[in-house]
């Protein structure tokens, strides 16, 4: 006969108490584990959340010319302003926002619409180099989806006057800080750049700085100013006269050097053709270019501006043919080595286009909007000449109406090391290390490596 088990109220109460005790014990054990056993871990995490640190950028030193009265004339300086960006996640009523922004500073309508049509994009740069007055006016409006960030840039108040003396400042990648790349900006870069500072401290739960917390601050060391002996009026006159002489004699290039015979100070050093450092490329769209692509893009940009091609020819009539001894071989080897050593997941996909052998010509074609032709010739030391021959064939056949052709060579430490190990550097295998590298010279004993890009139209 089956017996039914009957639970009395006392049984139920005992079971409930047992469950409560078990749960309480589990919670107490967990709290003990978190608060006692894991205390050091959570303490460190809390400190990291409460601590903040920031790099303080130094102001790059200014470069001055000295006029005949001994007064300093600013030739290169650093301006501080803001960049304007959009957060499309928060953007509302784009038409109204465009009109309000455009009333303060000119806005590219095509670029604005392109960004506004993107969804869930928290950061798209709309415009660089806003002055402080423009930034303040935009900030007061408090527009949804519109943001400002502090920005510094190098400015050259005298435009192209003395551009080949001054050089320019730029960065070759998103990770690399801007440094001097040419002229005085490069030669005196260590002195002009200064040293970074830092600040760190404690924040409360709302992210507000705690005044009594441990505050560590190391002020940045501002870059040193540089005063050149160049007399701006003499320099400008020399450049103007040189331009007239080039046009008169149809010279490809020329130079003028003026020295004070009493002191030996250089008063003018003019070279033509020149460039305006304020317009030199910029960073938009080129951060992931390799060195060879940067060189040829810079050369093609200057060539385009000098010839004013965009006002004469259509994009489909315009082409580019380059000669390059190594092409993108350095970018290919660097990309492959990183993939093999770190794994494919750690390779930056933005660097992949640099691994195409035709990358420099393709990059320059996109930059200059040349849709008719882009090709790379790699036939050793004669690559540049062969590129010109190839370009002339396309012109003769009527495939294109105008073409830029020439050579480009980007020197990197890997290429230099390879040439050194191969024993092809001039003087490396000769007695006394005498360098003789002139083409077609029977005494030639190797090559002297350099870099640059040269294009002709």
* pLDDT score, position 61: 95
Task: Report whether 82 contacts 252 (CB < 8 A).
Answer: no
* pLDDT score, position 1: 47
In angstroms, the CA 127 to CA 120 distance is 19
Which tokens is 332 given?
């290919």
Radius of gyration of the chain (CA): 32
* pLDDT score, position 281: 47
CB atoms near residue 305 (< 10 Å): 14
* pLDDT score, position 46: 60
Output DSSP code: residue 258: E
C-alpha count within 13 angstroms, C-beta hemisphere, residue 249: 9
Q: Where are the domains of the chain?
A: 283-456
In angstroms, the CA 320 to CA 339 distance is 31
Which residue is associated with the tokens 């046009």? Answer: 247
In angstroms, the CA 167 to CA 37 distance is 60
Task: Report whether 387 contacts 407 (CB < 8 A).
Answer: yes
Homologous superfamily of the 283-456 domain (CATH) = Thiolase/Chalcone synthase (3.40.47.10)
Helices (H), 182-227: 183-187, 189-193
Can you point out the beta strands (E) in 57-207? Answer: 63-66, 72-86, 124-130, 146-155, 169-170, 179-180, 197-202
SS (H, E, C) 49-98: HHEEEEEECCCCCCEEEECCCCCEEEEEEEEEEEEEEECCCCCCCHHHHH
In angstroms, the CA 47 to CA 203 distance is 10
The DSSP bridge partners found for residue 216 are 200
* pLDDT score, position 107: 94
Per-residue pLDDT of the chain (457 residues; tens, 9 = 90+): 444 555 556 666 777 777 787 787 777 777 777 777 666 666 655 655 566 677 888 899 999 999 999 999 999 999 989 999 999 889 989 999 999 999 999 999 988 998 998 888 888 889 988 999 999 999 999 999 999 988 888 999 998 888 889 988 876 554 567 888 778 998 999 999 998 888 777 765 555 556 555 567 788 899 999 999 999 999 999 999 998 998 888 887 788 999 998 888 999 998 877 766 665 545 555 556 777 888 888 888 788 777 776 555 667 788 889 888 777 777 777 777 777 776 666 566 667 677 777 888 888 888 777 888 888 888 877 888 888 999 898 888 888 888 889 888 877 777 777 777 777 777 655 555 566 666 667 777 777 777 788 888 8
Which tokens is 334 given?
């660097």
């Amino acid at each position: 006969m089956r017996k039914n088990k009957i639970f009395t109220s006392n049984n139920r109460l005992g079971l409930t108490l047992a469950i409560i005790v078990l749960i309480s014990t589990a919670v107490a054990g967990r709290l003990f584990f978190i608060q006692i056993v894991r205390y050091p871990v959570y303490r460190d995490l809390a400190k990291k959340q409460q601590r903040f640190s920031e790099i303080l950028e130094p102001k790059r030193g200014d470069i001055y010319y000295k006029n005949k009265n001994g007064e300093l004339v600013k030739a290169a300086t650093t301006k501080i302003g803001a960049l304007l960006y959009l957060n499309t996640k928060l953007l509302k009523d784009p038409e109204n926002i465009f009109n309000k922004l455009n009333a303060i500073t000119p806005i590219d309508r095509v670029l604005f619409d392109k960004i506004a049509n993107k969804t869930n994009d928290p950061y798209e740069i709309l415009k660089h180099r806003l002055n402080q007055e423009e930034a303040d006016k935009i900030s007061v409006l408090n527009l949804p989806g519109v943001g400002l960030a502090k920005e510094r840039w190098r400015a050259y108040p005298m435009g192209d006057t003395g551009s080949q003396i001054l050089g320019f400042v730029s960065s070759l990648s998103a990770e690399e800080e801007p440094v001097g790349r040419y002229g005085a900006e490069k030669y005196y870069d260590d002195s002009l750049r200064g040293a970074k500072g830092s600040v760190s401290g404690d924040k409360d739960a709302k992210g507000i700085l705690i005044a009594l917390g441990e505050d560590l601050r190391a002020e940045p060391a501002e870059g040193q100013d540089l005063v050149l002996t160049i007399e701006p009026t003499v320099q400008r006159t020399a450049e103007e006269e040189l331009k007239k002489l080039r046009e008169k004699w149809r010279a490809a290039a020329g130079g003028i050097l003026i020295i004070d015979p009493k002191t030996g100070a250089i008063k003018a050093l003019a070279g033509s053709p020149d460039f305006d450092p304020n317009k030199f490329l910029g960073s938009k769209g080129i951060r992931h270019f390799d060195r060879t692509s940067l060189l040829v893009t810079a050369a093609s940009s200057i060539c385009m501006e000098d010839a004013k091609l965009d006002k004469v020819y259509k994009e489909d009539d315009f082409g580019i043919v380059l000669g390059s001894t190594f092409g993108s071989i350095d970018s290919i080897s660097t990309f492959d080595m990183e993939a093999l050593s770190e794994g494919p997941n750690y390779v930056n996909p933005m660097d992949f286009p640099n691994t195409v052998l035709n990358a420099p010509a393709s990059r320059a074609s996109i930059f200059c909007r040349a849709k008719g032709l882009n090709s790379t010739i790699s036939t050793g030391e004669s690559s540049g000449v062969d590129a010109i021959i190839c370009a002339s064939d396309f012109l003769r056949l009527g495939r294109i109406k105008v073409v830029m052709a020439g050579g480009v060579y980007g020197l990197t430490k890997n290429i230099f090391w390879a040439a050194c190990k191969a024993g092809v550097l001039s003087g490396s295998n000769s007695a006394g290390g005498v360098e003789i590298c002139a083409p077609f010279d029977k005494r030639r004993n190797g090559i002297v490596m350099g870099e640059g890009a040269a294009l002709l139209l």
